[in-house]
Amino acid sequence: MKSILIVEDEINISEFVKLELEYEGYSVCIKDDGREGLKEALKGNYDLIILDIMLPSMNGFEICRRLKKQINTPVIMLSAKDSVMDKVNGLQIGADDYIAKPFAIEELLARIEVVMRRQHNFNNYLVKFKDIIIDKNSRTVKKNNEEINLTNKEYELLIMLIENKDRVITRDEILDRIWGYEFDTETNVIDVYIRYLRTKLNPDNKEEYIQTIRSVGYIMRS
């Protein structure tokens, strides 16, 4: 069952939308405060967030900005103003869609379906590990939404480790897949590239992502 978080302080709107979404088969949670909504969005595993702009304690723009730095959950923003600048601001900080109040529930449901379908297609070529997101189409790697520049070999090594997370990858497996069967098995090239990757992923704590299993290989634990 798909889950949706509604962050909206107008109870008549949030309860009505919740009722309609549950009728459509969604699981729904409501928060009527900005900070509480942000906290719930970050700790929950929601498929979509419906986010009002005018909220107590923290506005929707700030919530969206903070969310998009940490998670990739799609956001549809709601506003009482049909303002071009509000739409532009929302989309620039990462909102996936924007709808002005009052709205027809049929329009909201249609937009939710489109955003979720787009997200599903997007996730098919994304690889995620903690705060790292890899776009396999563009071969880009981001940590907390900041791009990390990797060489081709570093990129291939990272993909291999993440796609096999929680499993120890032996040095022989890495050599065979990344450098080929004919490569000198006595070389320290793997150690060198693991060191490069660790430094680029977290120079302050180089063992945070990639752990060494002595005499065997490496592992990334979720």
pLDDT 10s digits, 147-196: 999 998 999 999 999 989 999 999 888 888 887 755 555 668 888 999 99
pLDDT recorded at residue 94: 87
157 SS3 class: helix
Beta pairing class for 48-52 and 3-7: parallel
Query: Which of 116, 144, 146, 115 lies closest to 130, judged by CA?
Result: 144
pLDDT 10s digits, 32-73: 999 999 999 998 889 999 999 999 999 999 999 999 888 889
The domain segmentation of the chain, as residue ranges, is 3-123, 127-219
> What is the Cα–Cα distance from 175 to 184, expressed in whole angstroms?
9
pLDDT recorded at residue 176: 83
pLDDT recorded at residue 181: 55
127-219 has which CATH code? 1.10.10.10
User: Is residue 222 over pLDDT 90?
Assistant: no
* Buried b / exposed e along 89-122 (16+ C-beta atoms within 10 A): bbeebebbbbbeeeeeeeebbebbeebbeebeee
Query: Which of 119, 202, 209 lies closest to 162, judged by CA?
Result: 209
pLDDT recorded at residue 182: 55
Under a CB-based contact definition with an 8 Å cutoff, are residues 114 and 76 in contact? no
pLDDT recorded at residue 81: 75
Backbone φ and ψ for 185, nearest 5 degrees, come out as -70, -15
List the single range of 80-89, 131-140, 176-185 with lowest mean pLDDT. Answer: 176-185
- 3-123: CATH class: alpha beta
pLDDT band of 124, cuts 50, 70, 90? confident
pLDDT recorded at residue 221: 92
Sole residue written with tokens 């909201």 = 108
